[in-house]
């Protein structure tokens, strides 16, 4: 029998606020010594009282709006009760049946078109501390305890590990784009729980759901799902049955392992947190949050295609990050003379290559290679002041040093040699030095001239105008 997968994802994303969810401790703990960002509130000490971080609520609402969710006007925090060493209060402040955001969607791009993945809810909660297991024991660091977290739960609309990967990547892009998450998965800024079941292909009823918790990279999400779907298929194909359970992912062995039988909501004894007031959200507040959102990636990509006549691929690349999209538009705005497509080519080609090689983002690089330099370079090319090869060299130099292209061309004497007398000399030398190629050319292999043009370019140290070089060669050869 053939089976198909049904997948739903829970994404935990840290919210990029200055302070923690319920206290004034700094939420930026990445480089802090253990247990230095702590206070009675985030240590769960008796007598301490939490205060809701308004900015965190705003950012989570913005996320909900970006995901086309409805914002719940009556929302409050619940206590989710369980004991764990990294949870000093023995309950997590979270949300249960009154989450702040409900019923949205995220679009992913598949080969045959876009697919909408339903968003069930996005709620507010606090992060836990962090355990490190060492020889002979475990160490706990409470710096992360109380850092604002949002949990975004999808509908079981995802049909394959590939779709899950696209969903995670798109979610990450969106959260970073609107400025609510750092996107630093290496630092744990996003973590994923995946829920997966299989069912006979073409049937409606869901199979038994297995949850794999705490995956910390998009690659692990994909790998764990591939493994788990295979495992479930094998169990069912051999006539076995599956129990609803929570499994872990062993990154090194590449397997999922049973951890515990599934816990249910009622096990957590959720109840409204008596220390925190319910939030009464009104429409003007929601409108303010909406107004805070920038143009979103999908909308901007579509606008790029329409407004600048870019290919879908170019528009996609140029909207991979907001800073890249801003850079492109700044370059286009500074240069009314050249086609946006030419500007796009330099950014997606040379600039992306240089950024990649140096492991750099556009932020710092764009302060050196300023957007207006792109148009300047295109101008030099159009006026035939430099040729394509020199342009790449100038671009790279400009990228490294932050010097405007025209200044580099002047300082280094890179102007293209369009003086036909000088090029004619190089052409004579090339013809003299390559009798065999000249013979080929004369016997009808006209393509041989390309090699001779190359030789002229070489002799001129790349500065000859290639069109003039070819003319000069014809002149010499046909004389
Ligand atoms: P629980 O109460 O166990 O947390 P939820 O109904 O809250 O379950 O769903 C958690 C996640 O599991 C959601 O992302 C949801 O889309 C997904 N899910 C629900 N049922 C299934 C299923 N049968 N197979 C795969 N995923 C599922
Ligand atoms: Zn604190
Ligand atoms: Mg759940």
Q: What is the pLDDT of residues 244-266, one digit of tens each?
A: 999 999 999 999 998 877 778 88
Q: What is the pLDDT of residues 423-463, one digit of tens each?
A: 888 999 999 999 999 999 988 888 899 999 999 989 888 88
Residue 177 has pLDDT above 90, yes or no: yes
Residues with CB under 5 A from ligand 2 (ion): 23, 25, 39, 41-42
Bridge-based pairing of strands 210-215 and 245-250 is parallel
Q: 209 in ligand 1 pocket by Cβ < 6 Å? A: yes
CATH fold for domain 420-477: Arc Repressor Mutant, subunit A (1.10.10)
Global pTM?
Answer: 0.88
Q: 408 in ligand 1 pocket by Cβ < 6 Å? A: no
Q: What is the pLDDT of residues 373-402, one digit of tens each?
A: 999 999 999 988 888 888 999 999 999 999
Q: Measured in angstroms, how far is the CA atom of residue 209 from the centroid of ligand 1?
A: 7
Determine the pLDDT at residue 414. 80
Closest CA to 362 of 402, 404, 326: 326
* 472 C-beta neighbours (distance < 10 Å), count: 26
Domain locations in the chain?
A: 3-289, 295-412, 420-477
How far separated are the first and last CA of the chain, in Å rounded? 78
160 and 194 in contact (C-beta within 8 Å)? no
Q: 263 in ligand 1 pocket by Cβ < 6 Å? A: no
Q: Two tokens at 451? A: 């090699």
Q: What is the pLDDT of residues 216-226, one digit of tens each?
A: 999 999 999 99
Closest CA to 324 of 293, 355, 290, 303: 355
Q: What is the pLDDT of residues 303-356, one digit of tens each?
A: 999 999 999 999 999 999 999 999 999 999 998 888 999 999 999 999 999 999
Q: 265 in ligand 1 pocket by Cβ < 6 Å? A: yes
Q: 154 in ligand 1 pocket by Cβ < 6 Å? A: yes
Q: 88 in ligand 1 pocket by Cβ < 6 Å? A: no
Q: Two tokens at 21? A: 């969810």
Give the span between the Cα atoms of 455 and 434, in whole angstroms.
9
Residue from 5, 6, 8, 236 whose mutation best tests the ligand 1 pocket (most atoms within 8 A of CB): 8
2 and 201 in contact (C-beta within 8 Å)? yes
Determine the pLDDT at residue 325. 98
Count each helix (H run) and each strand (E run) in the chain, helices first: 17, 16
Q: What is the pLDDT of residues 323-337, one digit of tens each?
A: 999 999 999 999 888
Q: Two tokens at 250? A: 């062993």
Task: Report, as an integer, the average pLDDT of 128-153.
Answer: 96
Ligand 1 atom nearest the C-alpha of 207 is: 23
Task: Report, as an integer, the average pLDDT of 395-412.
Answer: 93
Ligand 1 atom nearest the C-alpha of 197 is: 24
Determine the pLDDT at residue 412. 82
């Amino acid at each position: 029998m053939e089976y198909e997968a049904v997948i739903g994802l829970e994404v935990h994303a840290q919210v990029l606020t200055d302070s923690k969810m319920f206290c004034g401790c700094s939420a930026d703990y990445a480089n802090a010594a253990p247990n230095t960002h702590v206070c009675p509130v985030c240590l769960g000490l008796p007598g301490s009282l939490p205060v809701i971080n308004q900015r965190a609520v705003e950012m989570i609402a913005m996320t909900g709006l970006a995901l086309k969710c409805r914002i719940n006007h009556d929302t409050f925090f619940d206590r989710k009760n369980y004991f764990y060493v990294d949870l000093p209060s023995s309950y997590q402040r979270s949300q249960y049946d009154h989450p702040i955001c409900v019923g949205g969607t995220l679009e992913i791009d598949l080969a045959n078109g876009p697919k909408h993945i339903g968003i069930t809810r996005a709620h507010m909660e606090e992060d836990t501390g962090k355990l490190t297991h060492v020889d002979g024991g475990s160490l706990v660091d409470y710096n992360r305890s109380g850092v604002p977290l949002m949990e975004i739960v999808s509908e079981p609309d995802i049909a394959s590990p590939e779709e899950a990967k696209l969903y995670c990547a798109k979610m990450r892009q969106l959260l970073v784009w609107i400025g609510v998450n750092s996107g630093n998965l290496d630092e744990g800024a996003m973590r994923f729980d995946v829920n997966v079941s299989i069912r006979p292909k073409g049937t409606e009823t869901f199979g038994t759901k297995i949850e794999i918790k705490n995956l910390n990279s998009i690659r692990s999400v994909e790998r764990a799902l591939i493994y788990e779907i295979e495992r479930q298929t094998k169990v069912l194909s051999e006539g076995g049955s599956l129990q609803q359970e929570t499994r872990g992912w062993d990154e090194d062995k590449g397997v999922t392992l049973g951890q515990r039988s599934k816990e249910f909501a009622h096990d957590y004894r959720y109840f409204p947190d008596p220390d925190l007031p319910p939030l009464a959200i009104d429409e003007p507040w929601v409108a303010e949050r909406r107004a805070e959102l920038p143009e979103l990636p999908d909308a901007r990509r579509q606008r790029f295609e329409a407004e600048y006549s870019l290919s879908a691929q170019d528009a996609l690349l140029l909207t991979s990050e907001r800073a890249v999209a801003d850079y492109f538009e700044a370059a286009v705005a500074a240069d009314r003379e050249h086609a946006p497509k030419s500007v796009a080519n330099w950014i997606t080609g040379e600039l992306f290559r240089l950024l990649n090689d140096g492991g750099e983002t556009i932020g710092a690089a764009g302060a050196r290679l300023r957007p207006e330099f792109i148009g300047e370079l295109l101008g030099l090319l159009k006026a035939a002041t430099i040729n394509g090869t020199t342009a790449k060299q100038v671009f790279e130099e400009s990228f490294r040093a932050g010097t405007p292209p025209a200044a580099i061309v002047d300082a280094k004497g890179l102007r293209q040699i369009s003086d036909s007398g000088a090029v004619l000399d190089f052409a004579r030398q090339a013809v003299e030095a390559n009798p065999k190629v000249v013979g080929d050319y004369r016997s009808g292999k006209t393509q041989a001239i390309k090699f001779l043009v190359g030789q002229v370019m070489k002799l001129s140290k790349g500065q000859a105008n290639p069109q003039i070089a070819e003319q000069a060669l014809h002149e010499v050869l046909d004389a």
